[in-house]
Amino acid sequence: MAATTKIALSTLAIAVLGPYCYDRYLALSTIVRNRPGHYEPINIFKGHEIKFRDTHDFRNCEDLLLSEVRGVAILSCDPGRDRWNTVMGTFRPDENLTSGSLWLYDYTSTELGSNDSIKQLAFNDFPHEGDFHPIGMDLDKETSILYVVNHAQSGSCIETFRLEANTLIDIKTITHPLLHAPNSIESVGDGSLYVTNDHMFRSRVSPVLSKFETFSGLPGGTIVHIDLNRTEGAQVVARVPFANGIARLNSTTLAVASSSKPGLYLYGMQLDHSLNFKGMFRTPAAVDNLSVDSEGTLLMAGHPSALELMKISKGRPLCSPNSDSEAERIACDCTAPSWAAQWSEEKGLETLFQGSYFCSSSTMVRDVKRGISLISGLYERGIMVINE
């Protein structure tokens, strides 16, 4: 090859790959900067406490949502995540794989140090009760219909329930070819949902390609709009690398977290449910889930150290909290740091909390009027209760 051709080709390669390499450099340098022991704790809360650390099976809580009118939080928790995590790629079920459950926490009487209580929501006639591995969920407050992503062993699906007092009445299970790796749900009313699929390559089908997709930052994740009254009209409305949490910022804007970019994508919602991309900003941690408080501030929680999180998910299948074996008890430890932040157009991105006090933060919610915020932890025991 002539020297000039070579130069031309490498210039072209740099022109094409340069921005991509720079993009990955930014993502990977975040991982390096946040490596264990180099992570500076930040905490601007007035007071905080971890509650219900020792409540049996109240651990591995991914999602968290508030019903401020009732003053309750609903949490989706799954001790079985230790052995079965379709997002992180842990597939070690045995015949005793524990099912997950949804919990109700009445936080109206919460004072730090008080003995408030949580209870498990009961199911009424739910065929998947023994194969329930809940992650993302959303409540349609008008109808009290709760949508829950279930990473069931029999296949991922969306469960719909009616929430009546402390009982979940099963309505139906929804599966759809476009919901191959469902993660989070945002209900926009009347059975109309935006759902994220975190990956194109599911770790259940191809662990290697799935990891490659995560680290390459390829936009394999999707946002799907589906109307449950007309599922045949479901369509992919955007593609996002490792699409994770999704939340409506206001009547026109949808926010979606990317855990691999890592960053936040903003979209305008059209009447026909298509999305138009409005912008993206980067975050110093892999954003997991999103929520929006009553003043329109976006709250996010996530994982500053992807490597620490992977280490935990890898060791967890061994975990047995009451075992005689020290190795099995240690496997239950949770050491991955947390990160929580808020964003608004006026004030930009502000970190509220980071550090290892609470492990593997996945969702933060805030009741503005009562001045209480809550953070759940993907592999943590209990819940972090905050006075702001």
* Interacting positions 129-158 with ligand NAG (CB under 6 A): 135-138
Judge contact between 22 and 330, C-beta under 8 A: no
322 is an interface residue for ligand NAG by CB under 6 A? no
Nearer to ligand NAG, 46 or 92 (CB): 92
* Interacting positions 280-309 with ligand NAG (CB under 6 A): 289-291
Nearer to ligand NAG, 288 or 308 (CB): 288
| From 4-12, 30-38, 115-123, 243-251, span contacting ligand NAG (CB under 6 A) | 243-251
Nearer to ligand NAG, 24 or 141 (CB): 141
Q: Name the residue type at position 81.
A: R
Smallest distance from ligand NAG to CB 243, Å: 10
Smallest distance from ligand NAG to CB 99, Å: 14
Nearer to ligand NAG, 32 or 327 (CB): 327
Nearer to ligand NAG, 109 or 294 (CB): 294
CB within 8 Å of 97: residues ≥ 6 apart: 80, 83, 84, 153
252 is an interface residue for ligand NAG by CB under 6 A? yes
What's the rounded Cα separation, in Å, for the pair 25 and 31? 10
Smallest distance from ligand NAG to CB 6, Å: 47
Nearer to ligand NAG, 123 or 267 (CB): 267
Nearer to ligand NAG, 61 or 334 (CB): 61
Give the residue among 276, 299, 352, 306 at the shortest CA–CA distance from 28. 306
* Interacting positions 340-369 with ligand NAG (CB under 6 A): 345, 363
Give the residue among 208, 161, 155, 206 at the shortest CA–CA distance from 182. 155
Q: Which three-class secondary structure state does DSSP give residue 34?
A: coil
Smallest distance from ligand NAG to CB 135, Å: 5
* Interacting positions 159-198 with ligand NAG (CB under 6 A): 183-186, 190-191
Show the CA angle centred on residue 329, arms to residues 326 and 331, nearest 5°: 110
Judge contact between 18 and 357, C-beta under 8 A: no
Q: Which of 102, 179, 237, 249 binds ligand NAG (CB under 6 A)?
A: 249
Smallest distance from ligand NAG to CB 7, Å: 45
3-state helix, strand, coil in the chain (%, to 5): 20, 45, 40
Buried b (16+ CB within 10 A) or exposed e, 110-147: beeeeeeebeebebeebebeebbbbbbbbbbeeeebbb
Nearer to ligand NAG, 26 or 317 (CB): 317
Residue 268 dihedral angles phi and psi, to the nearest 5°: -90, 135
Residue 81 dihedral angles phi and psi, to the nearest 5°: -60, -25
Q: Which of 65, 74, 179, 374 binds ligand NAG (CB under 6 A)?
A: 65
> Total number of residues binding ligand NAG (CB under 6 A)?
30
Q: Which of 34, 58, 62, 293 binds ligand NAG (CB under 6 A)?
A: 62
Q: Which three-class secondary structure state does DSSP give residue 323?
A: coil
* Interacting positions 2-61 with ligand NAG (CB under 6 A): none
Smallest distance from ligand NAG to CB 119, Å: 21
What's the rounded Cα separation, in Å, for the pair 35 and 303? 11
Nearer to ligand NAG, 40 or 95 (CB): 95
Q: Which of 5, 96, 115, 322 binds ligand NAG (CB under 6 A)?
A: 96
Q: Which three-class secondary structure state does DSSP give residue 80?
A: helix
Nearer to ligand NAG, 47 or 233 (CB): 233
**Tokens, residue 86:** 């379709």
Q: Which three-class secondary structure state does DSSP give residue 162?
A: strand
Q: Which residue is nearest to ligand NAG (CB)?
A: 136
Strands of 60-174 (E only): list them. Answer: 61-67, 72-77, 84-85, 90-91, 101-106, 118-120, 122-124, 134-140, 145-152, 155-164, 167-174
Which positions lie near ligand NAG, rule CB under 6 A? 62-63, 65, 94-96, 135-138, 183-186, 190-191, 228-229, 245, 247, 249-253, 289-291, 345, 363
